[in-house]
Amino acid sequence: MLLIHGLGDEADTWRHLITPLSADRRVVALDLPGFGRCDKPERPYTIPFFQNIVIELLDTLAIQRAVLIGHSLGAVLAHSVALNYPERVERLILIDGSLVARAQKIDLATMFFLLPGLGEWLYASGVACAVIPRRHIRHLRPTMDDWPSCLRRTARSCSSG
């Protein structure tokens, strides 16, 4: 099991989890370059650079497949490793990190919907029906029973038809 810390953190972030997690498996918490007690090389700290560090560590420790647990930046790195080296990942646990997105086109209406504040307003006000293509929210219909009534009405009217 490999624990990957977040931005501005270090391996010590995991100190309270290492003992319980190591009861039934090997647990390693790394300091990424530039953080904690690790060297701070003068170079760009990119996702591919950190991803290579993770793979090099797994190789050095002779770990063929690992459970990757990442927090924040560590979650992004763990997800990137899983996408690019799926054979090296047994399981993936992501905590408070964004997902690595492949390049894709997003239409303008969906872009507006994704903007904090504006997206919620469009959705709650019913304007969403005119702005958001139905295909983007049709899959939400089965889970709407717990939503506030104003959102249920908007989503149902947008996804019907």
Residue 40: give its domain's CATH number: 3.40.50.1820
Q: CB neighbours (10 Å) of residue 112?
A: 16
Is the predicted pLDDT of residue 18 greater than 90, yes or no? yes
What is the tally of structural domains in the chain?
2
Is the predicted pLDDT of residue 96 greater than 50, yes or no? yes
- State how beta strands 28-30 and 66-71 pair: unpaired
- The C-alpha atoms of residue 153 and residue 158 are separated, in whole angstroms, by 8
- The C-alpha atoms of residue 161 and residue 153 are separated, in whole angstroms, by 14
Q: What pLDDT digit, counting tens, does each position of 41-58 carry?
A: 888 888 899 999 999 999
Residues 20 and 81 in one domain: yes
Q: CB neighbours (10 Å) of residue 34?
A: 15
pLDDT bucket at 141, cuts 50 / 70 / 90: very low
What is the mean pLDDT of the segment spanning 69-92? Answer: 93
Residues 47 and 87 in one domain: yes
Domain assignment of residue 14, given as a range:
2-95
Share of the chain above pLDDT 70, in %: 61
What confidence score (pLDDT) does residue 41 get? 83
What is the mean pLDDT of the segment spanning 17-21? Answer: 93
Does residue 89 lie in a domain region?
A: yes
Is the predicted pLDDT of residue 119 greater than 60, yes or no? yes
pTM listed for this prediction: 0.63
What is the mean pLDDT of the segment spanning 124-130? Answer: 57
Does residue 102 lie in a domain region?
A: no
Residues 125 and 147 in one domain: yes
Residues 89 and 145 in one domain: no
Residues 91 and 30 in one domain: yes
Residues 9 and 76 in one domain: yes
Does residue 87 lie in a domain region?
A: yes
Contacts of 5 (CB under 8 A, 6+ apart): 11, 13, 14, 29, 30, 31, 32, 35, 36, 71, 72, 73, 74
Residues 115 and 49 in one domain: no
Residues 30 and 68 in one domain: yes
